């Protein structure tokens, strides 16, 4: 599967970043203030050391005065600045302790909440592993990005700004040189950083794509081994890794270029300012303490500029990770509730269904329409079966009823209400689905069955399992209802997973029931038992049952034969047999109770 590259704009990334910070703005403000005060203290240290050295320089051992009398004031300042530095450092640490454990929780919740509201085809077009990785990298990028800005970029910018001010105070010429150097240096760093930002956005996408492929292989490992296609999958990974290698190579070149730029610029600055300092000393404009101040400040600034060069680059890398994740997960939903959408309310559990002049296509090409002018009325409580070869539109009809997709034209109503004007949540709460391919959560059997009704008690879950004939196989498991079923229920057989799906539907007890090959994975003996349970479950409900095994739906109130998106026959089993039409031929063609697939 090819993955669409969808990156958010920098504005959208910043918006998500700032909204996430807003959840902890008071505590993060405390960290900012603590770091700012620390930065001032760090730059003040060389200045108070200058005064201390100049005071010591004036001391004459034969004067009879104690050295502490001379250095008392500058030494007091020196101690005070160091104590303040420790206190402000601990202030930041305290606020960090209150923030770090919780930072990222709300953004992750926001991402997952937004992800769940995407339309069904969004997930069909994406690797589940890739989506999980993008959420993870977004949170990691946001957390590391914030800490990088708060603890490294913000304090360093303040140190440089205050250093320029102090350098002006010592010598205006040197202050101007440092100010111009800083503007040029950080402009170039920002430019190179933005190049790396775009590279990392693409690199993050490539890495997520590879993660998605790995998860896809792991999820289908049975097929990989059964067909002995390990080498083929290795080649798929190698092919995907070419994109990562290409972007990573560009990233490393940009990184090395920044390293060269740093080395040349800082060495030049150090040389120029030290030469000026010695000239000023020779002209008796500088003291030894002021030379020490310039050298100390330069060493500090060299280390800070080196750190900021790569720190700013890392910060943009984290933003690049966020940009890729936000662009994929937080994109606008294609299927949303209508403005002022109302919840579906069904009186006395009676839910009639109507498809009126429905047009629908999965693509924008009208020639590929699944339905054209489809009309169907299902009275409340009626049980209908959908018959037809694969691709006739049976499952699509059920998906449209659940509003997994929006129709192109016409309307679909339940209890007289247009489903496009109802909340999706309330609509689906009134429909229970037993799918052909039941995928379970990697949770306990108790949790998986209770998924049909989260308020159900353990006793209710067990009753539903018994009705679905799942209790017998569950009770012999070592952990019984607490047994973990594995990813997608891999530890259970297909028939066992279907029974869990039936138990869910029993527990949900919705007025509308959709059965999509609900017993296709069951053996004949189990199917006979399940059919009895399904008959009880269907009582009083509006039912849409899809089946290839015609014997499973022959007793329903009404059968619809579908072909290429059209209803070509409509009636009871006996009525359709008497017509000797398409249904009668399908019935006659059955082998072992199954429809022959369309050739």
Q: Give 171-222 pLDDT, tens digit per residue.
A: 888 888 888 888 888 888 778 777 777 777 777 777 777 777 777 777 677 6
Tokens standing for residue 516: 């999509």
Q: Is there a domain that residue 244 lies in?
A: yes
DSSP one-letter code for 149: I
Q: Do residues 414 and 445 both lie within one domain?
A: no
Residue 557 is classified by DSSP as S
Q: Which helix (H) or strand (E) holds 199?
A: helix 172-219
Q: Is the domain of 362 the same as that of 404?
A: yes
> Locate tokens 């949770």: which residue?
443
Specify the pLDDT at position 520: 64
Are residue 286 and residue 155 in the same domain, yes or no? yes
In a domain, 529, yes or no: no
All residues at 6 or more sequence positions from 70 whose CB lies less than 8 Å from its CB, including other chains: 55, 56, 58, 59
Residue 129's pLDDT is what?
65
- Residues of the chain where predicted confidence (pLDDT) is lower than 50: 1-6, 591-599
Residue 75 tokens, joined: 């030494």
φ, ψ dihedrals at 513, nearest 5°: -125, 130
Are 385 and 443 in a shared domain?
no
In-domain check, residue 184 = yes
Query: What pLDDT shows up at residue 414?
Result: 92
Residue 137 lies in domain: 10-23+103-329
419 shares its domain with 449: no
Which of 194, 197, 102 has the alpha carbon at shortest distance from 143?
102
pLDDT of residue 128: 64
Residue 481 sits in a domain whose CATH number is 3.40.50.300
Q: At 156, which CATH number?
A: 1.20.1560.10
Q: Which of 329, 360, 395 is the last residue of a domain?
A: 329
Residue 216 and residue 165 share a domain: yes
Which residues have C-beta within 8 Å of that of residue 299, sequence separation ≥ 6? none
Could you tell me if residue 73 is inside a domain? Answer: no
Same domain, 116 and 249: yes
C-alpha 391/C-alpha 397 separation (Å) is 11
Identify whether 393 is part of a domain: yes
The per-residue pLDDT for 3 is 45
Question: Are 482 and 545 in the same domain?
Answer: no
445 and 417 within one domain: no
pLDDT score, position 459: 92
Residues 120 and 189 grouped into a single domain = yes
The answer to whether residues 232 and 274 belong to one domain is: yes
What is the structure's pLDDT at 1? 39
- Residues 41 and 85: beta-carbon distance below 8 Å: yes
CB neighbour class for 226 (10 Å; exposed up to 12, middle 13-18, buried from 19): exposed
Q: Say if 147 falls within a structural domain.
A: yes
Q: How many domains does the chain have?
A: 3
- Is residue 265 within 8 A of residue 192, CB to CB? The reply is no
User: In terms of domains, do 120 and 205 share one?
Assistant: yes
pLDDT reported for residue 19: 78
Confirm whether 82 is domain-assigned: no
Q: Is residue 283 one of the residues assigned to a domain? A: yes
């Amino acid at each position: 599967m090819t993955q669409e590259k969808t990156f958010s704009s920098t504005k959208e990334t910043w918006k998500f970043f700032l909204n996430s910070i807003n959840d902890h703005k008071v505590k993060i403000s405390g960290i900012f203030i603590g770091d700012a005060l620390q930065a001032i203290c760090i730059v003040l240290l060389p200045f108070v050391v200058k005064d201390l050295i100049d005071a010591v320089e004036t001391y004459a051992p034969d004067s009879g005065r104690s050295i502490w009398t001379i250095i008392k004031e500058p030494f007091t300042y020196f101690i005070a600045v160091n104590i303040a530095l420790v206190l402000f450092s601990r202030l930041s640490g305290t606020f960090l302790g209150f923030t770090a454990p919780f930072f990222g929780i709300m953004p992750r919740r926001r991402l997952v909440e937004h992800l769940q509201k995407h339309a069904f085809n969004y997930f069909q077009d994406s690797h589940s592993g890739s989506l999980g990785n993008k959420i993870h990298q977004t949170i990691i990028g946001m957390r590391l990005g914030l800490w990088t800005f708060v603890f490294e970029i913000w304090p360093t910018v303040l140190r440089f700004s205050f250093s320029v001010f102090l350098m002006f105070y010592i010598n205006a010429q040197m202050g101007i040189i440092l100010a111009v150097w800083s503007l040029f240096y950080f402009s170039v760093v920002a430019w190179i950083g933005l190049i790396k930002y775009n590279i990392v956005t693409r690199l993050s996408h490539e890495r997520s794509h590879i993660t998605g492929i790995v998860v896809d292989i792991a999820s289908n490992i049975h097929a990989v081994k059964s067909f002995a296609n390990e080498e083929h999958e290795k080649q798929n990974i190698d092919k995907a890794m070419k994109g990562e290698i290409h972007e990573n190579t560009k990233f490393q070149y940009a990184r090395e270029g920044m390293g060269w730029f740093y080395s040349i610029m800082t060495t030049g600055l150090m040389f120029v300012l030290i030469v000026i300092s010695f000239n000023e000393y020779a002209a008796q404009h500088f003291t030894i303490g002021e030379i020490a101040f310039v050298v100390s400040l330069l060493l500090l600034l060299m280390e800070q500029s080196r750190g900021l060069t790569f720190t700013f680059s890392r910060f943009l890398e984290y933003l690049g990770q966020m940009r890729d994740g936000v662009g994929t997960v937080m994109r606008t939903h294609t299927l949303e509730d209508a403005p002022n959408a109302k919840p579906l309310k069904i009186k006395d559990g009676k839910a009639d269904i109507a498809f009126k002049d429905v047009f629908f296509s999965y693509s924008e090409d009208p020639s590929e329409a699944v339905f054209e002018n489809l009309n169907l009325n299902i009275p409340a409580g009626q049980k209908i079966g959908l018959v037809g070869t694969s691709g006739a539109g049976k499952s699509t009809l059920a998906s449209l009823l659940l509003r997994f997709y929006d129709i192109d034209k016409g309307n679909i109503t339940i209890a007289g209400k247009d489903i496009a004007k109802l909340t999706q949540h309330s609509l689906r709460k009134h429909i229970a689905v037993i799918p052909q391919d039941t995928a379970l959560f990697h949770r306990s059997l108790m949790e998986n069955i209770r998924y049909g009704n989260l308020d159900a008690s353990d006793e209710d879950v067990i009753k539903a399992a018994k009705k679905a004939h799942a209790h017998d196989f569950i009770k012999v498991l070592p952990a019984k209802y607490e047994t973990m079923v594995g990813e997608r229920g891999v530890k259970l057989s297909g028939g066992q997973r279907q029974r869990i799906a039936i138990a869910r539907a029993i527990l949900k007890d919705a007025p509308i029931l959709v059965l999509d090959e609900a017993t296709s994975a069951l053996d004949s003996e189990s199917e006979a038992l399940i059919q009895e349970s399904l008959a009880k479950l269907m009582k009083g409900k509006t039912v849409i049952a899809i089946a290839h095994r015609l014997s499973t739906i022959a007793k329903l109130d009404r059968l619809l034969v579908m072909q290429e998106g059209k209803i070509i026959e409509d009636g009871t089993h006996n009525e359709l047999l008497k017509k000797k039409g398409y249904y009668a031929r399908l019935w006659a063609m059955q082998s072992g109770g199954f429809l022959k697939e369309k050739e």
